A = this chain, B = another copy of it.
Amino acid sequence: MNPCSSILLTDLYQLTMVQAYLEQGMEDEAVFELFVRKLPVHRNFLLAAGLEQVVEFLSGLQVTTKELAWLESTGRFNSTLLRYLEGLRFTGDVHAMPEGTIFFPHEPILRIVAPLPLAQLVETRIMNLLNFQTMIASKAARSILVAGRKPLIDFGLRRAHGAEAGLFAARASYLAGFAGTATVLAGMAYDIPIYGTMAHSFVQAHTDETTAFEHFALAQPENTVLLIDTYDTEAAAHKVVALAPGLKQQGIMVKGVRLDSGDLADHARKVRCILDEGGLPQAQILASGNLDEYQLQRLIAGGAPIDSFAIGTAMTTSADAPSLDCAYKLQEYAGRPCRKRSEGKATWPGRKQVYRQYALDGRCDYDLVTTVQDPGAGDPLLHPVMTHGRRLVPAQTLTELRQRAATQLSLLPDSLRNLEDGHPYDVRISQPLQDLARTVDQCV
């Protein structure tokens, strides 16, 4: 499932600008950087994700004959633009923070260096890809920090914003540490473990709940997780207990039950007792139903005997912050650094690098944003990814990206690991970068 790579997946103004650039012969090298202006509310950090899809998009960038004919039919574009688009491929350089890297506002996470029209044209889709997965990974990471070792599963496809959002949310949440997803196609596309139980309709389609449980167990002997809240949760738990010996004779162990409504902590406690007293101490309890990291924290802090959680809508839509204030800005053209000074939206000019410094306890201490010429100190976070349109290193596996994300989360200062707003992380703008901004401002 490759992401859409059509050149037409862009804003109209990119095409009108490109036409003007071509007319004026403005095809010199441009440097654009993507960064986030400020953290959304309730976020102490962001977790970079989506770079792999950006590389796939850039590698596959093209316009089809049909699209070209349509562009021409609009009467909006001249032949210079149409000839330019025909056969256009991405030939630029890309530097980026690897997926699974923690980052903060004002830090570029991606740099594109390419002829101005080309670098301009790819803006919209690059933002679209990085904004979404980074937002989801950052949201999912909050649940991971709360859940500790309890497995979390993505149940969000039905309320994701379309198919691509559902697939990307499965990928980004797995990258952030989720155990897997319910989305079957994401399992196939990204090799993510898939999880699933049964729906209320399964119980309703049967004339009685016990028969429904039995039929499901026979069909899924290795994965008998029964949904018990269709009518009366505790009554259903007793039915599971009553059914278990018969199933055992057929070699089927009840693996667990799922709770999906009501007071989950209260039901979990009662159901745990019923299962334990009924000889099913091994049966696990999975909870779902409008969960988010806050409810997770409450349930876990309250000691609710829940073994794993399925999280859907809140994670897959990043419900409390459904966008990032990200920007893709021109920082240099034809060797001349530049920046935007619009009110509240000023940017730092030139090509930049971010260095991370660690405290004595090994945790992140502060970041330094500086010019690429400045030697800096600490771990540089931006690395080369593509050169002249070619990928430099093979794609990392999601397992590797998960490992990086886990390590990075473990290095966060404690104050940033809470769900509440922590003391903002220290992001320093270097003296050379401040000097450059001043110089640029004097030249306009």
| A contact residues vs B (CB 8 Å cutoff) | 3-4, 6, 8-17, 19-21, 23-24, 26, 30, 32, 67, 70-71, 74, 76, 116, 120, 123-125, 127-129, 131-132, 155, 157-166, 168-169, 182-185, 187-188, 194-202, 204-205, 207-208, 215-216, 218-220, 223, 229-232, 260-262, 313, 317-319, 322-324, 326, 329-330, 333, 336, 338-345, 444
Contact = CB atoms under 8 A, between A and B. Distances in A.
A259 to B, nearest CB: 10
Closest 6 CB pairs of A and B: A12-B196, A162-B164, A20-B219, A161-B161, A13-B196, A201-B330
Nearest to A317: B322
Given A16-B196, A67-B188, A159 B11 contact: no
24 contacts: A10-B183, A11-B196, A12-B184, A12-B187, A13-B182, A13-B198, A20-B220, A24-B215, A67-B188, A116-B205, A123-B199, A131-B158, A159-B326, A161-B162, A161-B164, A162-B164, A164-B165, A204-B338, A204-B339, A204-B340, A231-B444, A313-B323, A317-B317, A319-B323
B162 A168 contact: yes
Given A166-B9, A339-B204, A342-B230, A20 B215 contact: yes
Contacts of A162: 128-129, 132, 161-165, 168
Contact of A199 (B13, B70, B202, B231): B13
A70 to B, nearest CB: 5
B164 A342 contact: no
Nearest to A116: B205
Contact of A187 (B74, B131, B188, B215): B74
Contacts of A262: 342-344
B19 A324 contact: no
B202 A70 contact: no
Contact of A342 (B159, B200, B323, B336): B200
A3 to B, nearest CB: 7
A420 to B, nearest CB: 22
Given A9-B163, A131-B159, 10 more contacts: A10-B184, A13-B199, A14-B196, A129-B162, A159-B323, A159-B326, A160-B161, A231-B341, A261-B345, A262-B344
A36 B119 CA distance: 43
A26 B15 CA distance: 55
Contacts of A71: 184
A319 B323 CA distance: 8
A218 B124 CA distance: 24
B120 A201 contact: yes
A385 to B, nearest CB: 21
A202 B17 CA distance: 7
A388 to B, nearest CB: 22
A201 B329 contact: yes
Contacts of A182: 11-13
A162 to B, nearest CB: 3
A96 to B, nearest CB: 18
A443 to B, nearest CB: 8
Given A12-B195, A165-B164, A330-B201, A23 B444 contact: no
Nearest to A339: B204
B128 A159 contact: yes
Given A128-B163, A336-B207, A317 B323 contact: yes
Nearest to A196: B12
Contacts of A333: 204-205
Nearest to A153: B12
Contacts of A202: 17, 20
A20 B217 CA distance: 9
Nearest to A5: B163
Given A70-B188, A164-B163, A322-B319, A340 B11 contact: no
